[in-house]
Amino acid sequence: MSPVLPGRRALAATAVTSALIAATAAAAPAGAAPAAAAANTDKVLVIGIDGAVLDRVKAAAAPHLNGLMAQGLTARSTLYAGPMAATSSGPGWSTIATGVWPDKHGVKDNSFTGKNYTAHPDFLTRIENARPALNTYAAADWEPVTSTDQNGPIFSSKVDRRLSLKGDRDGYRTEDPKIAAAAAAELQGQNPDAAFVYLGEIDAAGHAYGAASQQYLDTVARVDTLVGQLLTAVKNRPTYAQENWKILVTTDHGHTDSGGHGGSTIQERGTFVIAKGAGIPAGSVRADVRLTDVAATALAQVGVSGSGLDGVPLNAPDDDPFDTLRPNLLARVDETGIPAAVKGFTHTPPAGWSVDNSRMGAGGVTEWAGWAFATDEFWSQSQRDQWRELNVRSRDVFAVADSDEWDDKSHTGTFDSTLVTPKWTVAGGSTRTLTFQTHYRHEAGQTAQVLVSYSGAAPTVVKTYTADAVAKAESLALQVPAGATDVQVRFRYSGDNNWFWTVDNVRLG
């Protein structure tokens, strides 16, 4: 066991876990009025459940978790894979806590080598930096989350109150209830404005028995009881009726049916966000949510800026026109590695957009014959471990040109396709900013260009990619010529069994 860690309002260290929990409860008996500092009524609780598989949660006797889904939002999301990071806990919880992807926070595996929490702190530390009067709390029994003992902490010493217990694959079953009891006492009897509570036993069951096992379902049911304990503590607060709570539940990675994670299968990359609170429709389901949105949502809930994060608050959903294509997505045609039930591609662009395939070769793999519109679940399973999994800054449906996969079936000619935007109104002589998310893997012999044309004039190149641009947010300044009234943008990609280019969320600012 590790003691409660110091902070400005830290719990007193103790040698015995039960005594620590008793002391916590004694300091804040059930029904006691929260600490006086608290005029703030907007509050957030993030519950982190390690290694939880959403479909198995739905199948388990888990009334509290399934109740949250019925009362709020359920959103699946997929992770990166190597070489960005392993699908393991260090990168996963770092991504959740910091609101940025591993290429920023620096954690690629459980060694925590390269961590950069100074530049990209956890959301509780951001709250302390911006609004130090707010009360923050974190509790975990995987030590790196809150303890300096094991490569951490992910949640820094600036957090007001941190509880760290030591759980391992044999110990989470005993330590998780201690975490839940201490956190419930804190939530009900004290006055946290933002809290993070970690529970680890489900991941241990995944490793020991596999996600497809009955033991895994039984563990989900036990952890669900602890989640219920936390939810009840929030509802039993004397001031609950005057407060605005947002509850988020998430996980750091998935598990294979046989058990384990760290690799690039869709099972290992599978995560989710469940959310309940004001403005979240009951029973809603979204496909545009990313794991980085947890921190952004928590910050927004307590009025702290999430500037610089990769995530966005849940109340600011992506309105990318590509996402309107989701109801029309199709199942595989020529691809064999993608499950037959997965609907994830179309060649039909959204309204106002077009694809010019006049230079495109004939034949090839149907799914990738010219620019297509696809989801991560579909595209990344066409061929694993070639960096398709690294397209983390795209959301929901994105545009993809993939000469590598197209070449896997006989064809004539080469891949040469152009994605064309609508015409956007501009004022002559102005400067406009073209922004989009891009994921580009380069190889000699292929070409990727961004071209613009004003008022129907010949397109001119404004950007040529000559090196990898992995999961990048692109911003290009456009100088509008005098007299121009509209601009149209083209994304031209050509290659012959080279790599790929994705584009998403194209906007003219």
Residue 223 belongs to domain with CATH number: 3.40.720.10
pLDDT at 311: 97
* Mean pLDDT calculated for residue range 283-288: 96
Question: Same structural domain for residues 345 and 409?
Answer: yes
pTM: 0.92
CA gap 421, 431 in Å, rounded: 18
Domain limits for position 61: 45-301
Domain end (from 301, 331, 363): 301
For 116-154, how does the pLDDT look when each residue is reduced to its tens digit (9 = 90+)? 999 999 999 999 999 999 999 999 999 999 987 667 799
Question: Same structural domain for residues 220 and 75?
Answer: yes
Quote the longest CA-to-CA distance of the chain.
77
Tell me whether residue 87 is in a domain. Answer: yes
Please give the helix or strand (H or E) that residue 89 lies within, else none: helix 89-98
pLDDT at 17: 37
Please give the helix or strand (H or E) that residue 438 lies within, else none: strand 431-441
pLDDT at 21: 36
Which value, to the nearest 10 degrees, does the dihedral of the CA atoms of residues 169, 170, 171, 173 take?
A: 90
CA gap 145, 198 in Å, rounded: 8
* Mean pLDDT calculated for residue range 209-214: 98
Tell me whether residue 217 is in a domain. Answer: yes
Phi, psi of 17 (to 5 degrees): -60, -45
* Mean pLDDT calculated for residue range 1-23: 36
3 has pLDDT over 60: no
Q: What mean pLDDT, rounded, does the chain reach? A: 92
- 168 falls in which pLDDT band (50, 70, 90)? low
Tell me whether residue 29 is in a domain. Answer: no
Of 8 and 265, the structure prediction assigns the larger pLDDT to: 265
297 has pLDDT over 50: yes
Tell me whether residue 387 is in a domain. Answer: yes
Question: Same structural domain for residues 80 and 225?
Answer: yes
CA gap 205, 211 in Å, rounded: 8
* Mean pLDDT calculated for residue range 238-263: 97
8 has pLDDT over 70: no
* Mean pLDDT calculated for residue range 371-381: 98
Question: Same structural domain for residues 374 and 289?
Answer: no
Of 300 and 509, the structure prediction assigns the larger pLDDT to: 300
pLDDT at 148: 72
Cβ neighbours, 10 Å, residue 221: 16
Question: Same structural domain for residues 287 and 332?
Answer: no
Tokens of 226: 């602890």
70 has pLDDT over 50: yes
20 has pLDDT over 80: no
Residue 339 belongs to domain with CATH number: 2.60.120.260
Question: CB–CB of 182/24 below 8 Å?
Answer: yes
pLDDT at 318: 73
Question: Same structural domain for residues 436 and 475?
Answer: yes
Question: Same structural domain for residues 333 and 294?
Answer: no
Tell me whether residue 195 is in a domain. Answer: yes
Question: CB–CB of 324/350 below 8 Å?
Answer: yes
* Mean pLDDT calculated for residue range 440-451: 97
Question: Same structural domain for residues 368 and 266?
Answer: no
- 378 falls in which pLDDT band (50, 70, 90)? very high
Tell me whether residue 86 is in a domain. Answer: yes
Question: Same structural domain for residues 216 and 278?
Answer: yes
- 7 falls in which pLDDT band (50, 70, 90)? very low
442 has pLDDT over 60: yes
Question: Same structural domain for residues 385 and 458?
Answer: yes
Domain end (from 239, 272, 301): 301
Domain end (from 272, 301, 330): 301
24 has pLDDT over 60: no
CA gap 189, 160 in Å, rounded: 16
pLDDT at 39: 64
Which value, to the nearest 10 degrees, does the dihedral of the CA atoms of residues 42, 47, 53, 54 take?
A: -30
Tell me whether residue 92 is in a domain. Answer: yes
Question: Same structural domain for residues 62 and 201?
Answer: yes
Tell me whether residue 40 is in a domain. Answer: no
- 13 falls in which pLDDT band (50, 70, 90)? very low
* Residue of 407, 408, 330 whose CA lies nearest to 372: 330
Question: Same structural domain for residues 325 and 287?
Answer: no
pLDDT at 166: 85
- 362 falls in which pLDDT band (50, 70, 90)? very high
Number of domains in the chain: 2
